[in-house]
Structure 1
């Protein structure tokens, strides 16, 4: 009987082993088929490439200038309301929609949120009354096309704010000018300073300061000047040139000086432009169209039955057209471009500066994630686990664990060596191997990462620790 039981268990385990082996064989076979299918899919899609000279086509076009701007500022400064009002006054959003939002917001005791809901569209954002992720919308005037990137103001969502800023050409900093509110956002551990430092460190050079809610202080010139003077000192110390800073008094709730110019009877002292005019007068950053393709992935999703794998993101450099074969990094998987959309309009090609949706062929979703980079096969972006950077410290920096942010990507890492401190004006060495880097000090540091990430010389990174931004830098 004992022998029978032992034999039975032996046969049973042997059967399980065989099933496991067969299961592994099936999995491997499916993988092999997937590789074959993906390769065939890429080959088919590549044949649709018309080999357009995109740079020539772009140069020959007579299109309006296109800009992306990020809206930043302390929580409750009125960023979403201001942008919602802008879209309403430009007739991008109709009266019926605003009335619907007004009725719904009144039901939950947030009657003033009707314009904010144009951009804050998730139930949680509307219930909490704060933007949590990047809200995106587009509009067009007679002179230009724009994409709004409305960033969260709350400190809990700074990573999303960094992601939005990395896609922008310039910034709109919204200040709440009501009594005590500016001071809370600027002095008392608010987000005004951190947001400003971040957008500048990411490479933004042009900033429009929307002095919002000025109607709450009866359009007082003294209040506007008080804010303008304090912010000018801070912005110039952060690296913005005075010629690239504009101040606009406005009210997102009433719409005054957003699209419709401010009436002289309200503020006879103000001789400047409306917000929309300042936006139109702002130029996009120079486009690196002639450089190798770099497209940073902001989101990965299923675009429908015909497009099982789609991504959205900004083209940082280079050009892209339907049929192009690309390399996804850090996975190293190839893929091909089935279709391109910009603001839901199909396009045969796109260039640096465009925020677009790309429908892909020949790649599985598991090989793509936020922060990945699509690049040309012939000139791919390096994948690194360590790098040297020139940094500016916002807080005291020592050899320490940090979270490293680049656009949508954020990974754990460590500042391993403080190489030297630098003169901010000349870049010359001041001191070798400092024990720490004090706030406001420039330095060269070495950084290691827990995993390989796509990153190259000139790339901009942000260092955070414990929910606080401690510095920013440029990869050397």
Structure 2
């Protein structure tokens, strides 16, 4: 049976997770890193002195384990704009970094002098058309190779919304980094090149357009904007026929990947390089057939589920570093945090105190769910934290397990591979990257009826849906999908290929 039909029929029970927003290679956790920020912006002298004090001398905002909701709400009144994380995904060379750079320029985050510097640098490297990408691709490896390696991170604002851009790498060698970016996102912007031959390369089997779409859906990116880029290319010249061709091919695939195309997907034509249809609608002289909105308008209008600031605190840690103490980075998936709060780092169960919170480049007193934070902690050393650990509330800490039960959708196994007990792969779940083993197949699910098949299952093939027990070597922090969708979705990868996607249905805790 066609695998796309199987995916469509399962959709990983997407109907129940459409309101969830959240989070996978043969690399160790320490190899999957996002771009580290430069040294944290200098605090004022008063703040430095205060944060340098022993924890017992730090002025206490709250003694409670979880900050009072009214304090968080009062803090949020300072900036009433909603905050959304946007991940740019798509095949290598589709124009993700260039589009992201242009957005920052058009929204006033980058000045003309900086652009002129990047133009000269790109010209010196014989990459004249890459200068906008340099805004997002900040390290030398990326500029020399002309492709994104790490997950770029930047910020911009429209009239109603603050956005964090996550620029995920498109090259298949860096899919784990893309997963790291998508696991933090609320909205996905799928960038597709309209240039002759480039769309086809990304869309064909093995192209990153397909894999990125499937991963984004699995990782909880429930809203997708499909921007057809390079419409100004001489091979396209704003052709409606080319645009319609791409849209016509993408819609069935998006449906098969679990997206409700009418409700959760929007298409629009752009030119990232010259900034057309980004912050202003297209001029009819350039594209007479387009009557829709520009990208900024679409981003402003996207509706994502409201988050609960009263829930138990959960912040998966994606990175850590030293800066007047131990600083951890991550996106708040649930609950709220205030300076002075007591927290626990899981799975090693270390009690910590929050002595500083940074949102974007600003120091804040409190922060709620959905925010990307840098949190300064006392009570733990930087070397005692790994990516995948979770900063958690003391009252209701996240579970730590070495085994769990899951429902898996097999996408496409490697040639001659059999999915059975003993199968090994690399598990990617929120910011966790860990080797795992399938220890038992419990039952096979009919993808059409979604009911268990009665026969005993020993192995399954491509397209199958199976319930199985999964075991990892080290303790990891996860949640049941039904409780926290964003911390219960995962992918399995092996030899550079995504072979299965799934969700955690039960936790196996030790007695």
Whether these two folds match at TM > 0.5 is yes
Aligned positions of 1:434-449 closer than 5 A: 434-449=457-472
CA distance in 2, matches of 1:377, 1:232: 45
Higher relative contact order (CA 8 A, sep 6+): 2
CA distance in 2, matches of 1:50, 1:280: 38
CA distance in 2, matches of 1:131, 1:308: 30
Q: Does 1:288 align with 2:308?
A: yes
The aligned residue for residue 475 of structure 1 is: 504
Q: Does 1:344 align with 2:367?
A: no
- 1:389-412 deviation digits (Å, cap 9, x = unpaired): 112221243331010011222011
Displacement after TM superposition at 1:429 (Å): 0.8
Q: Does the 8 Å CA contact 2:355/2:376 hold for their aligned counterparts?
A: yes
Q: Does the 8 Å CA contact 1:406/1:460 hold for their aligned counterparts?
A: yes
- 1:175-227 deviation digits (Å, cap 9, x = unpaired): 01100100000105110010000010111211000100011111000110011
Question: Bigger radius of gyration, 1 or 2?
Answer: 1
> What is the root-mean-square deviation in Å for CA atoms of aligned residues?
1.8
The TM-score, its normalising length taken from structure 1, stands at 0.88
Unaligned runs of 5+ in 1: 1-39
Bigger mean CA offset, 106-115 vs 327-336? 327-336
SS in 2 for 1:429: coil
Displacement after TM superposition at 1:158 (Å): 0.9
Q: 1:394 aligns with which of 408, 411, 417?
A: 411
Q: Does 1:164 align with 2:162?
A: no
Aligned positions of 1:149-228 closer than 5 A: 149-216=166-233, 217-228=236-247
The aligned residue for residue 53 of structure 1 is: 68
CA 55–173 in structure 1, closer or farther in 2 if over 3 Å, else same: farther
CA 50–457 in structure 1, closer or farther in 2 if over 3 Å, else same: same
Q: How many residues align?
A: 434
Aligned positions of 1:21-420 closer than 5 A: 41-45=54-58, 47-49=60-62, 53-54=68-69, 57-58=72-73, 61=77, 63-216=80-233, 217-242=236-261, 243-303=263-323, 307-396=324-413, 397-399=419-421, 400-420=423-443
CA 279–184 in structure 1, closer or farther in 2 if over 3 Å, else same: same
CA 439–269 in structure 1, closer or farther in 2 if over 3 Å, else same: farther
CA 431–233 in structure 1, closer or farther in 2 if over 3 Å, else same: farther
SS in 2 for 1:214: coil
Q: Does the 8 Å CA contact 2:173/2:496 hold for their aligned counterparts?
A: yes
The aligned residue for residue 452 of structure 2 is: 429
CA 449–149 in structure 1, closer or farther in 2 if over 3 Å, else same: same
Displacement after TM superposition at 1:263 (Å): 1.2
The TM-score, its normalising length taken from structure 2, stands at 0.82
Displacement after TM superposition at 1:44 (Å): 4.0
CA distance in 1, matches of 2:244, 2:407: 36
- 1:215-254 deviation digits (Å, cap 9, x = unpaired): 1111000110011011111001111102111001001111
